[in-house]
Amino acid sequence: MRTKAYIDGKWVGGKKTFKVFDPYSGKEIAKIPDLGVQDAKRAIAAAHKAFAKWSVMPAQERSDKLVKMACQIEKRLDELARILTLEQGKPLEEAKFEILWGVKAMKWMAEEGCRIHGYASCDPDPDRSAISIRQPVGVVSAITPWNFPFYVPLKTFAALAAGCTLVLKPAEDTPICSLMLADLAEEAGIPKGVFNVITCKDPRAVGNLLATHPIVKKVTFTGSTEVGKHLLKMGADTIKNTTMELGGNCPLLVFDDADLDKAVEGAFNLKFLNNGQCCNGLNRFLVQDSVYDAFVKKCEARAKKITCGSGFKKVNLGPLINENAKKKVIRLVNDAVAKGAKPVLYSQEKGLLCSPILLRDANTKMAIWREEIFGPVIAVYRFKTEEDAIRMANDTRYGLAAYFYSEGMKRCMRVARALEAGIVGVNTTNAYSITLPFGGWKESGIGREGGIVESLNAYCELKAISFAR
């Protein structure tokens, strides 16, 4: 494992270190450099210097280096998946899925880097010609979360494909995965200074610098809405270009004409991905009256088959990321039970493990209705009409994703348009595609990642050029 930070092509230690723990066993994995503002400034300066050459390098050459790195990740898949499971806790097969998911995104973006283009327009003045071009924005800072510590940093490599350089600050719970990406970047021949990784225990000082430094031209952040708001305020003085992928409170709507078996299967595939620790995961289960009891019964039978334990064993769920995460789940569940929810399944596990929790008769007065759970909890609410379902689904300050099941074509069109979310899954909870833009409405974010156009345009400035004859 790489356990030092990476600045300007060099592995960097620090006077202070912080410990990274295996969330399953609680044992120490490694000591990581606890760097500060001066180290971050050095990384920004290195990225700024590297930008001069990287930004004008032929797009195909940049693409080739990124594809080479992606291929190296595939070759080292087993090794990297073990590190991911050790550091974050998710089951090993799920860790492999995350890494390969990131590789696909990286290859896509590397190829799209060869197809950045503007357009030519017919100027009304016959003596003038008009074109627009896109150019890389400059140095990008990326602040990434712990729940997908390989995939989220990899999707920021769209910045490199566009010709930008990158300073990455990973989450303090899971820094090693990002350091392994630096190892892979070095192995693939990506020039020094193009990709830098800053590690620190307390993210505030370094995060504030990455959001305010005048050389940094764009900030991309994935994490909580509260931290996103703070970063937006910090970057206001320099009018930072930002992409914010923030919190969610995503609903699943199950109508009376739905295929219940398909709905339950889709619900479980997403709800228990990464132990429920997904921003676009399911938070509120809204089920129509006439199929409510049948849906709950099917969920109970399915949930009883789910196992939890060490991610290195054949289990469906690993541990939650830390003690605060488990306390939050317990608080939300206990509040729901105190306000009338009936626990169908609810048992306490040791350590950071949390087996599936199923609550029926949930209502909108519970904290679990408003707050993002980030755990393996299914809280099931009733609705009577389609109008009720849409009103309830949209009753949140978030708008990242929404999902629903119905076999009625006209209903599918109506509901898909009515839901206030940046991503909608119709008869599926697998609504992600690298060809589609990913991002939220309302307080779930600003900007988009992925997509045929949006993936690299987010890291470019648009320039209009007029030619006079």
Q: For 92-111, what is the mean pLDDT?
A: 96
Instruction: Return the pLDDT at 123.
Output: 87
Helix pair angle (77-88, 176-187), 10° resolution:
160
Instruction: Return the pLDDT at 111.
Output: 94
The superfamily in CATH containing domain 250-435 is Aldehyde Dehydrogenase; Chain A, domain 2 (3.40.309.10)
8 Å CB contact between 435 and 429:
no
Task: Name residue 307's amino acid.
Answer: T
pLDDT digits (tens, 9 = 90+) for 158-203: 999 999 999 999 999 999 999 999 999 999 999 999 999 999 999 9
8 Å CB contact between 407 and 291:
no
pLDDT digits (tens, 9 = 90+) for 408-452: 999 999 999 999 999 999 999 999 888 899 999 999 999 999 888
Going by pLDDT thresholds of 50, 70 and 90, the confidence category of residue 129 is very high
Q: Mark 397-433 as b/e (b = at least 16 C-beta within 10 Å).
A: ebbbbbbbbbeeeebbeebeebbbbbbbbbeebebee
The answer to whether 299 is a known catalytic residue is no
CATH value of 5-246+444-468 in 3.40.50.2300, 3.30.365.10, 3.40.190.10, 3.40.605.10: 3.40.605.10
Q: Which residue of the set 177, 279, 299, 460 is catalytic?
A: 279
Whole-angstrom distance, CA of residue 282 vs CA of residue 277: 10
Whole-angstrom distance, CA of residue 148 vs CA of residue 98: 7
> What mean pLDDT, rounded, does the chain reach?
97
Going by pLDDT thresholds of 50, 70 and 90, the confidence category of residue 455 is confident
Report which DSSP code applies to 198: -
**Residues 6+ away with beta carbon under 8 Å from 25:** 310
Stretch(es) of the chain classified as CATH 3.40.309.10? 250-435
How would you list the strands of the sheet with 357-360, edge to edge?
342-345, 357-360, 377-383, 282-288, 250-254, 401-405, 423-426
Backbone torsions φ then ψ of 180, nearest 5 degrees: -70, -30
Q: Which residue of the set 87, 186, 245, 372 is catalytic?
A: 245
pLDDT digits (tens, 9 = 90+) for 262-273: 999 999 999 999
Q: For 333-346, what is the mean pLDDT?
A: 98
Backbone torsions φ then ψ of 200, nearest 5 degrees: -160, 155
pLDDT digits (tens, 9 = 90+) for 2-61: 999 999 999 999 999 999 999 999 999 999 999 999 999 999 999 999 999 999 999 999
8 Å CB contact between 345 and 301:
no
8 Å CB contact between 333 and 359:
yes
- Which of 106, 105, 82, 103 has the alpha carbon at shortest distance from 94? 82
Helix pair angle (77-88, 59-75), 10° resolution:
70
For residue 435 the two structure tokens come to 């060809």
For residue 108, what is the enclosing H or E element?
helix 92-112
Instruction: Return the pLDDT at 452.
Output: 81
| Residue % of the chain over a pLDDT of 90 | 94
Stretch(es) of the chain classified as CATH 3.40.605.10? 5-246+444-468
The answer to whether 245 is a known catalytic residue is yes
